[in-house]
Amino acid sequence: MDLAALLRLADFEQAAELVLSAPTLAYVNGGAGGHRTVEHNRAAFEAVWLRPRVFADTCEAPDTEVTLFGRTFSSPVLLAPTSPQRILHEDAELAVARAAQETGALSIVSTDTHFPFPDIAAAAEDGCWFQLYAYDGRERIAETIEMAEAAGATALVVTADAHYPARRVSAQRAGFRTPPEVDFGTMRQLGILQGDVPASARIGRFPVTWDDLAWIRERTKLPVVVKGVLRAGDARRCSDLGVDGIIVSNHGGRQLDGVLPTLVALDEVVTEVGHERVVLVDGGVRSGTDIVKALALGARAVCVGRPYLWGLAVAGQAGVAAVINLLRLELGDALRQLGVAQVADLDSSFITTATAPRPHPADGPDHGQVDRTRHHDTIVRRAIR
């Protein structure tokens, strides 16, 4: 695999398309319903334009580091919790944790992992966050929190928008079923899963309430982050309960179609609690310039999901590391071109919103069409040989 030939995340996506089965690809790339939210997560970034400043102080090596809850990371790129990663590579979460360790990034690890969380945490020597899905009520939640703390988790991420099954039509149509090699090691270790893994790769969850969130906050000294917030009022209530961070997220468009894009919701949440809590965002990030846009709107960092899964599918740990490094490279380039010395200097003065006309055919193919030309397809095919 010539990873150096994959120069954009679109290249990794196409490379993954060439190595994955149709059902697996539909599961990874698909969303709920007709994919409207999946598409508009991307469109929201496309509607934001960058505004460079000229004659700024020269900075050949902009500082891309960000500090969250006392730990410094190489860039404001976090690996969002995803599952089941075993459908993409035999090393699954271990490969992702090792890639995060290698690149100075952070992995947020799902409860629904193939390998038991303690094994994954050991691979992430500098620490990882644990995504807390609730199963079987408070007693089981308490056991899960204790397991995560004992294994070395450095934060708990309570997901608020995935209590109920989603209607993922594209995955259903493609005939996705959990392959026999996939297990749920963390849930099996906790005693939540006994017997076979469900064909849908999902076990019924316990719907978390505001009272449950307050109870979770009281049970742990770890930072608590709530993932799935899209409204200022919900962000305010989370903050008032003592939550340390918020991830503005619509689950990558995978739970409910027609939900507003996360970049649109980000401004509302940042305005409400951004001065008092760490605010992150996920959904649709596909380049270093997308990261700039999110940070300029007030996010402290971004989470990516599908992109590192493409890297995992293509080349395991090396593929995940290549995706992280590519985003960091693009971010550094964007900062240089904007005249910004460090990510902390980004603010709303560097962006604007406008609707640009699509290029006329006489002007040549648009950004997306370029990636799908025969020439581009040939390059990617050569890279994966």
DSSP labels, 11-36: HHHHHHHHHS-HHHHHHHH--STTSH
**Domain edges within the chain:** 30-353
Beta bridge partners of 105: none
Structure tokens at 112: 């629904």
Beta bridge partners of 159: 227
Which residue type sits at 149? E
Q: Are 177 and 23 in contact (CB under 8 A)?
A: yes
* Helix%, strand%, coil% for the chain, nearest 5: 45, 15, 40
Three-class DSSP category at 329: helix
From residue 26, give the alpha-carbon distance in Å to each of 66, 89, 127, 138.
34, 16, 31, 34
**Residues making up the chain, counted from first to last:** 385
Q: In sequence order, what are the residues at sequence separation of 6 or more whose Cβ sits closer than 8 angstroms to the Cβ of residue 350?
A: 50, 51, 52, 53, 292, 296, 338, 340
Structure confidence at residue 384 (pLDDT): 55
Q: Which of 85, 220, 251, 79 is nearest to 141 (CA)?
A: 220
| Count of C-beta atoms within a 10 Å radius of residue 42 | 18
* pLDDT higher than threshold 60 for residue 42: yes
What does the pLDDT look like over 257-266, one tens digit per residue? 999 999 999 9
* pLDDT higher than threshold 50 for residue 364: no
Note every long-range contact of 380-384, with CB atoms under 8 Å and residues 24 or more positions apart, other chains counting: 380/5, 380/6, 380/11, 380/14, 380/15, 380/18, 381/18, 382/2, 382/5, 383/1, 383/2, 383/3, 383/5, 383/6, 383/11, 383/15, 384/1, 384/2, 384/15, 384/18, 384/19, 384/314
Structure confidence at residue 154 (pLDDT): 98
Residue 331: Cβ-neighbour burial (10 angstroms; 0-12, 13-18, 19+): buried
**pTM as predicted:** 0.92
The DSSP call for residue 342 is B
Confidence of residue 201 (pLDDT cuts 50, 70, 90): confident
CATH of domain 30-353: 3.20.20.70
User: Could you give the CA distance from residue 321 to residue 329 in angstroms, rounded to a whole number?
Assistant: 12
| SS3 annotation, 98-112 | HHHHHHCCEEEECCC
Structure confidence at residue 355 (pLDDT): 64
Segment 154-171 shows an average pLDDT of 93
From residue 99, give the alpha-carbon distance in Å to each of 29, 312, 343.
21, 10, 23
Structure confidence at residue 363 (pLDDT): 45
* pLDDT higher than threshold 90 for residue 359: no
pLDDT-above-70 percentage for the chain: 92
From residue 367, give the alpha-carbon distance in Å to each of 8, 9, 22, 113, 370.
12, 13, 25, 36, 5
Confidence of residue 206 (pLDDT cuts 50, 70, 90): confident
From residue 304, give the alpha-carbon distance in Å to each of 45, 79, 245, 283, 284.
14, 5, 17, 7, 8
> How far from the centroid of its chain's Cα atoms is residue 98's Cα?
17
Segment 70-95 shows an average pLDDT of 97
Structure confidence at residue 78 (pLDDT): 98
From the candidates 89, 114, 251, 367, which is the catalytic residue?
251
* pLDDT higher than threshold 70 for residue 166: yes
**Is 251 designated active site?**
yes
